[in-house]
Amino acid sequence: MNDVPGATSSSGVVVHLNDSDPAKHAAVLRNVSNLIDALEPETKIELVVHGPAISLLLPGSPHSETVRALQHRGLAVDACQNTLRGEHILPDRLIPDTVVVPSGIAHLVIRQREGWAYLHP
Amino acid sequence: MNDVPGATSSSGVVVHLNDSDPAKHAAVLRNVSNLIDALEPETKIELVVHGPAISLLLPGSPHSETVRALQHRGLAVDACQNTLRGEHILPDRLIPDTVVVPSGIAHLVIRQREGWAYLHP
Amino acid sequence: MNDVPGATSSSGVVVHLNDSDPAKHAAVLRNVSNLIDALEPETKIELVVHGPAISLLLPGSPHSETVRALQHRGLAVDACQNTLRGEHILPDRLIPDTVVVPSGIAHLVIRQREGWAYLHP
């Protein structure tokens, strides 16, 4: 796919998660796992978590082990600072290696401008 | 970001809204507000409303004041003509300054072809 | 729109469907029908079905006639092999002319890299 104009095999993918439902979290994490399996190893994949989905990254999340395992396979996990502020959540309560971005929703735009694909499963 | 091929800092963003739930409307309007805060002032942002989401733009919508305030901050609001026709809604019942587009779903494609980012929160 | 950099009137559209709800299926198929009506005849439109949405393509789906009619109007329908394997579904049970792609979620990325627009109604 290297000859596609405006895209290379190393273009990234942003995955949008803003749902509070743990069953939805599980489905999206399965999707991310399938993405990692299917795309080239150098493809950057970022899961952008904002709004009520922030529960995925907090203590007590039923999926924290799965998130950690995906991080070890290369997934970057971003949390929205606007959400953290609004919910009075300190960043050090989040799953380790989470990156805090100023605005989750704006980050999804910035990545698309950089040529990344967008998915909202 | 002006050196990203095919994108400039003034590329726009289309936001897709087709849900009837007023709580979802409130969340999406918060997202739009955060986008306006986070992106460059010249960034065009369009909220494309179709299907059951059209209630957001009708008299009795609990969020009409919020929509008006976002319009004053630069948000463009589009309503889908297919939806208006299917629901027998006259355009003059919509929140002022709403732009009627022939097809909301096609408009989201046209904007992406023009290099705009797409979000469906 | 042929003068938009990086896009042509023949760029395609991928439509993402991963919801199990037949009412949602009906709404998305209406959206696809409106897309076909609104965009240029040469525009490629692909409906990518994965996860619990696979029921749309199985015997007993209340919308199989609608899917067939849209296929006759040019819609391509893709089913996710990961989903078929996980649900123990043989491809020959799917609506005729469905194309099986290795990973539905990755296919949505591949098409965006090729310059296609993405919609998740």
Residue B14 in 3-state DSSP?
Answer: strand
CB contact under 8 A, A110 and B1: yes
Residue of chain B nearest A106, judged by CA positions: B35
Domain limits for position C81: 13-119
Residue of B31, B47, B113 to mutate, testing the A interface (most A Cβ within 10 Å of its Cβ): B31
The CA R_g of chain A, rounded to the nearest whole Å, is 14
Q: What is the pLDDT of residues C1-26, one digit of tens each?
A: 334 444 455 589 999 999 999 999 99
Q: What is the CATH number of the domain that holds B51?
A: 3.40.1260.10
Backbone φ, ψ for residue C84 (5° rounding): -60, -45
CB contacts, 8 Å: B119 with chain C = none
Q: How far is CA C31 from the centre of its chain?
A: 11
- Does residue A6 fall inside a structural domain? no
pLDDT digits (tens, 9 = 90+) for A44-93: 999 999 999 999 999 999 999 999 999 999 999 999 999 999 999 999 99
β-pairing, C45-49 with A45-49? unpaired
Q: Do A115 and B35 lie within an 8 Å CB cutoff?
A: no
Q: Which residues of A touch B (CB under 8 A)?
A: 6, 16, 18, 51, 82, 102-103, 105-106, 108-110, 112-115, 118, 120
Task: Confirm whether C7 is domain-assigned.
Answer: no
Q: Is residue C4 part of a domain?
A: no
Considering the domain boundaries, does residue A80 fall inside one? yes
Residue A8 lies in a domain: no
Number of domains chain A is built from: 1
A61 belongs to a structural domain? yes
Alpha-carbon distance C86 to A34, whole Å?
12
Q: Has residue C103 been placed in a domain? A: yes
pLDDT-derived band at C40 (thresholds 50, 70, 90) equals very high
Give contacts of A39 with chain C, Cβ < 8 Å: 106, 109
pLDDT given for residue B95 in this prediction:
98
Average pLDDT over every residue of A24-33: 98
In a domain, A2, yes or no: no
Q: Which of C19, C114, C119 to mutate to test the interface with B (most CBs of B within 10 A)?
A: C119
- ipTM attached to this prediction: 0.91
